[in-house]
A = this chain, B = another copy of it.
């Protein structure tokens, strides 16, 4: 099918799913979880085929071992995948919330009501579990979705999509084409140009993919290209806090986007040698004069810089950071407050590990992704980030001319 037809169908579907009640949406999610459970052997078979093909590529040096690992579904990942769908069914419906209710004048009531965005375009790499997760988030928030997965997982992706759509067909009143998949690189190019039908693009993958997408579309993109997170150890830091937090932020999951990449230390912090020695004991490699202060190592490597004062630390972060998550370790509350106000990042922390930047840890229940955008949604994005709002005005025949002439007056009373 031509991409434009897929996109048109998605738009049609989005208008239909916008009006579905919570019960039908949850029924659909439950059916998806059940169907994946029932047909998991078929998914494993499809995945085995992808893994065989990928194994050859790994042997030829054409595919990274880490990509191979992300591609692989096992019983644990399958269980998490199914549970993930059920968890989303249990979340509050983000659609239809009254965000504002205001009487503009007698019998003229304005409501601001949350509603879906429309059509989401998802571009992701090797992880096939993204399909059921993002499709479920889209359904719960009443959006239609077009998914483009990595070619390495094509058999797994097709099978999961087939199972999901067969399950959705059984749900009475659930529109078709809410969840669709496309396959070619040309589909990506067309998706990025398709601002007539696609309202938001969410890339799930490495820096290069995300940067490519951000640079090649004027459709809003939700995500982050890189995660250059900093920890600033202030003069008045507690040495135990500093060691524990930096070690956690660097080593707990080094390839995560919220892992720390640069450590800034106040020149008058009198235990800096102790701190650096402790980090080396944890097998963290320290780069004292890196060529580039914006390197995302994704490994047990840490850039280190001694700064003269907090101003310098803040300026460094605002210059080289990616606006993701940055933390100050200090017992000076004024400095903590200043850091948190002046560092222009989605997450600004005091005496805590940057690794807390995560939708589940924030209590959002499920995460669409982490955004470094300055509009719409920033930081870990939950279901709410897949909604916008509309204004409903309930009148009894009112016209503007009466207010322009002064015959009537607005009184703007929130109710």
Contact = CB atoms under 8 A, between A and B. Distances in A.
Interface of A: 15, 18-19, 102, 104, 108, 110, 117-118, 195, 199-200, 214-218, 220-221, 238, 240-241, 244-245, 247-249, 252, 318, 336, 340-342, 344-353, 355-357, 361-363, 373-376, 378-380, 388-401, 403-404, 410, 412
B19 A400 contact: no
A393 B340 CA distance: 9
Given A347-B390, A347-B391, A353 B400 contact: yes
Contact of A218 (B218, B361, B395, B396): B218
B398 A352 contact: yes
Contacts of A349: 392-395
Nearest to A108: B352
A102 B363 contact: yes
Highest count of chain B CB atoms <10 Å: which of A15, A110, A217, A395: A395
A390 B400 CA distance: 38
A399 B355 CA distance: 8
A401 B221 CA distance: 31
A137 to B, nearest CB: 16
Given A344-B15, A344-B118, A401-B252, A378 B395 contact: no
Given A238-B397, A352-B394, A376-B388, 13 more contacts: A15-B318, A104-B356, A199-B375, A218-B221, A244-B399, A249-B399, A336-B394, A349-B392, A351-B395, A351-B398, A356-B400, A373-B388, A379-B389
A323 to B, nearest CB: 9
Contacts of A355: 399-400
Nearest to A349: B393
